[in-house]
Structure formats: structure tokens, C-alpha cells
Structure 1
Amino acid sequence: MAQLDALRTGRIAGARTAEIDQGLRAHMNKVYGTMSVGMLITFAAAWAISGLAVTSDPAQAVGQIGADSYLTSIGAALYTSPLKWVVMFAPLAFVFGFSAGINRMSAATAQLVFYAFAAVMGVSISSIFLVFTGTSIAQTFLVTSIAFASLSLWGYVTNKDLSGMGTFLLMGLVGLIAAMILNIFIQSEGLAMAIPFIGVLIFAGLTAYDTQRIKTEYIAHAQHGDSEWLGKSAIMGALSLYLDFINMFMFLLQFMGNRE
């Protein structure tokens, strides 16, 4: 009888494990799918805004930025007026507000807010199409995609606990942000060269760390059947990986980008 009970318990545990594994795959697919849509929105918004900001017609220009390239009134407002500071820091404010308010949102609302954030980010980084050639942007995006996929896969399959590395990386991120703000004022050439290199390393590590964190958090909550939390968790997971990708791309662009 005891053996029969043990067999039944083992079957139930095995079925539960299989159910969690299947749910984890669906959860990660949603995370990557949501992130991918966000990326498409960001680059579509950046490309569209850059098209409105620059013209080749001198009659519509308010400033010249190249031999046959001129800023429109929209471009001047976004990139040369005090509005540029709002554009620059809007995504950061959006992230803090989103993180603070997600518990009061439904999963559907959180997803819409994430897509709105992706559009705001697109406006914020739209100047890359004015500064760098389209070919170098595409090449950097491809390199970032390959690196991101490799790092995220490693974070998903590794049995090594990355939580300690995550703490170190988050401390490094705080230091990096402080250095970037400081360099706005001191304009150090050496610091300007070091920041992109350090940034790539930090966000490469965070990609693996965040992937493992999303996986372990899902398993922990799935065991308790917390379905409401899981729906929002996929959105927040997509946001984390999206930010890792965008930042790694922007820092790599400082190395790989050919300037117009």
C-alpha cells in the first residue's frame, strides 16, 4: 500500500513538474514576444521622428547639420531647445512610474503602458539616425541581437546561481549612471571612452542575470498558483530584457557606429 501511495505521489509530482515546465515555456515566449514588439515600436518611432526632424529642403530648415541636411522646426525643438532634456529623461521617469504603479494595473493595461514607453524611448533615441549611418545602425543591431540571444540563452540554461553577480552589476549600473551624469558637466575624454565599454559589460551581464531571475521567479510563483502575478510578471520581465537590449545596443553603437 505504501509503495502504491508513493507511486501515486511521484506521478502527481511529475505531472505538476511537467505542467510548470510547459507554463515556463509559455511565460518566456510571452516575455520575448512582448519585448520584441516593444523593440519594433521603438525603432519605428525613432525612424519616423528622425524623418520629421531632418529635411533636405533649405526652405523648410531652421538650422544646417550637414552638406545637404537641415533641421526642421521639429528637429530644432527636440534636439537643440530645452525640450531635449525632457526627451532625454522621459524614459527614465516612465520606468520609475511604471514600476511603482504596475500593482494597480491589470495585465492588459500594463502591456499597453509598456508599448507606450517603447514609443517614448523611440523618440528619445531618434537622434541616432542623424548621427550614425543607417548601415552601421543595422550592423550594430544585428551584433546586439546575436550577443543578447547568446547571453539570454546562457542565463536560462545555466545551473550557476547568478544572484550574486546581479547585485554586483546593479551596483556597477548605479556607478555608471553617476559617471554619465558627471561627464555631462566635466566633459572628460577618457571617461567618455570608458563609459561605453563598461556599459556593454554591465548590460551583457544583466541580460543573463535578468533571464535567470525571470525564470526562477516564475517557478516560485507557479508552484503557488499565483496567476494574477504571473501575467504582470511577463510584462515586467519584457521590460527588464528590453532595457538590457536597448542599453547594450546604444553602448555598442559608440564603438561600431560610423558617423554621418
Structure 2
Amino acid sequence: MTYGQQPGGRRPNGQEPYGMAPQYGMYGAPQNGAGTMYNGAGGAYNVQPTYVTERAEHVSMTRAYGEMTIALVLTGLVAIVTQMTHLYERFIEATGMLGVWLPMIVEVGIAIYLGMRVMNMKSSTARVWFYVYAALMGFSLSVIFSAYSITTIGYAFLISAVFYLALTMFGLTTKANMLKAGPVLVIGLIVLIVTQVVLMFVAPSNTMLKVVAAIGIVLFAGMTIYDAQFTKRVFAQYASQGPEMIKRVSILCALNLYLDFVNMFLYILQLLGLSRD
């Protein structure tokens, strides 16, 4: 007679009778919800809380990257429609120089507002603001169709997608803690922004523009790895605070991931465009 078939028998340590042990499903999780597995020595250890936590984090990560993907698709569609209808040109003709700066100012305002208030608003409201931001970004980015060829834009997007995926996988699987590089990345971002503002008032050489574009690619590659690890860490932190909170965190993380991709794409596009000129 095999183990577990002795009727009425009890284990030596006085636990449940043989043949009455909890039934286990996939991943060793007890189907009766007990959350306990027994080792060969009769000891017990808990597995279900770990499994549930990992499952919740996986679902949350999928949600964040899904929100980011939807926003990118929306940005692309709005950019294409805006270019086809010449809406941006008409907007500039009607508003003058104000129209050049107004969309960017509104985008920055929405990004700051979301970053500061997303944890205190309804997740549905945060999602609407995020998609509005993505649509406005598409409206502004429609000008790339006038500055670059479709082929160059296509190559830049493909390279960005592959590069972004590789960096994300690295960030989620590496044991190195990229979160420690946060202050360095912030300083690099500030320096990059200041440099670009200065270049607006001078006539930079082609080589200088290439260097700035290359630095931007490296910087946002680091930001992509950082935000992948940040997303994983923040979901682990808020995993027990309910689905509504997870939805809010998803929007915040999706915004960060979205900005990483868009900026990397723009710098790769600039570098390819300069190389082809």
C-alpha cells in the first residue's frame, strides 16, 4: 500500500490522517486554500501567498505596459490623421508662434499634473488624462512626417521597438539594481535639456547634433531600464492595496514608460535623419 492510502492512519507528527492531505493544483498551490505544502520531513512551508503576490505583480506589469502600448498606438494614429488632414499647419496659420509652443506647454502641464495627482484621482479619470496627453503628443509629432521620409521614420520606429524590448527584458531580469542610478539619470536629463535649449539659439554643426542625439539615446536607454525596475518595485509595494490603487499606479508607470519610448524614438530618428543627410 502506497503513502497516502492507509485509512485512518496518522502521520508521525500528529498532522492530518493519511489520505486526507489537501489536494494540490498547479504551481503547488493547495486547492482548498490552505496555502501550505509539506516537505519530506513533515515540515510545512507557505507557498500560496508568494504565488498570489507574484501573479498580482505579473498582472499589474502587463496592465502598465498595455496602457503604454495603447497610448503609443493612439499617438501614432493622431499623428497620421493630423498629417493627412494638414490640421497642424492650419493650427499654426491660425495661432502663429503661440501655436508652436502651446501644445508643448499643455503636454508638460498634463504630465506634471498626472505625476502629482494620479494617486489621488479615480483611475478612470487618470486614464482619460493619459490618453489626452498621448493624443496631444501625436498632434505635435505629426511634424516629423514633413522633416523625415516615411522610410526613415519606419526604420527609427522598428529600431526603437526592438531596443526598448531588449532593455525592458534586461531591466526585469538583471540582478543589478538600476534604481541606484536614478540621481545620475536625472542629472543627465537636466544637462540634456539645457543643452538643447542652448542649441536653439545657436547654429549647431551636424556633428554636434549627432553627439546630442547619441547622448539622448544612451540616457533614455538607462531610463528605460530604470523605469522597468521601478515599475516592478512599485507594484510589489502597492500589491496589497486593492485593484483601484493598482490601476492608478499602472497609469503612472505607463506614463513613464511611454515617455521613455517616445524620447528614444525621437533621438534615434534624429540620428538616422542626420546620418542620411
Q: Is the 8 A contact 2:119 2:249 kept in 1?
A: no
Q: What's the TM-score, normalizing by structure 2? A: 0.79
Structure 2 residue aligned with 1:232: 248
Q: Which runs of 5+ in 2 are unaligned?
A: 1-11, 16-35
Change (3 A) 1:230 1:87: same
Q: Is the 8 A contact 1:52 1:72 kept in 2?
A: no
Structure 2 residue aligned with 1:61: none
Structure-2 separation of matches of 1:10 and 1:156: 31
- The ranges of structure 1 where at least 4 consecutive aligned residues each deviate by more than 4 angstroms after the TM superposition are 1-10
Structure-2 separation of matches of 1:93 and 1:146: 30
Give yes or no for the alignment of 1:17 onto 2:50: yes
Structure 2 residue aligned with 1:62: none
Change (3 A) 1:239 1:6: same
Structure 1 residue aligned with 2:204: 188
Whichever residue aligns with residue 131 of structure 1, its letter is: A
**TM-superposition CA deviations, 1:155-212 (whole Å, max 9, x none):** 0111111112222111101111111112112333254332211100010111011001
Q: Is the 8 A contact 1:141 1:249 kept in 2?
A: yes
Pairing of 1:171-186 with structure 2 (within 5 A): 171-186=187-202
Structure 2 residue aligned with 1:161: 177
Percent of matched pairs sharing the same residue: 27
Structure 2 residue aligned with 1:144: 160
Out of 70, 73, 80, the position equivalent to 1:40 is: 73
Give yes or no for the alignment of 1:130 onto 2:130: no
Change (3 A) 1:11 1:195: same
Post-superposition offset of 1:250? 0.2
Q: Secondary structure at the match of 2:176?
A: coil
Q: Secondary structure at the match of 1:82?
A: helix
Change (3 A) 1:102 1:10: farther
Structure 2 residue aligned with 1:52: 85
Q: Secondary structure at the match of 1:20?
A: helix
Kindly name which structure, 1 or 2, has the bigger radius of gyration based on alpha carbons. Answer: 2
Q: Secondary structure at the match of 1:121?
A: helix
Q: What's the TM-score, normalizing by structure 1? A: 0.83
Whichever residue aligns with residue 221 of structure 2, its letter is: A
Give yes or no for the alignment of 1:89 onto 2:105: yes
Structure-2 separation of matches of 1:237 and 1:214: 6
The more displaced of 202-211 and 160-169 is 160-169
Q: Is the 8 A contact 1:144 1:249 kept in 2?
A: yes
Structure-2 separation of matches of 1:10 and 1:141: 52
Change (3 A) 1:11 1:92: same
**Structure with larger RCO (C-alpha < 8 A, sep 6+):** 1
Post-superposition offset of 1:231? 1.7
Post-superposition offset of 1:136? 1.3
Structure 2 residue aligned with 1:256: 272
Structure-1 separation of matches of 2:217 and 2:122: 34
Structure-2 separation of matches of 1:186 and 1:72: 25
Structure-2 separation of matches of 1:227 and 1:21: 15
Post-superposition offset of 1:42? 0.4
Structure 2 residue aligned with 1:103: 119
Q: Secondary structure at the match of 2:221?
A: helix
**TM-superposition CA deviations, 1:31-90 (whole Å, max 9, x none):** 111101000110111111112228xxxxxxxxxxxxxxxx95345447x63310112333
Give yes or no for the alignment of 1:118 onto 2:134: yes
Whichever residue aligns with residue 205 of structure 1, its letter is: G
Q: Secondary structure at the match of 1:188?
A: coil
Structure-2 separation of matches of 1:225 and 1:217: 12
Q: Is the 8 A contact 2:79 2:142 kept in 1?
A: yes
Structure 1 residue aligned with 2:222: 205
Q: Is the 8 A contact 2:217 2:267 kept in 1?
A: yes
| Greater fraction helix | 1
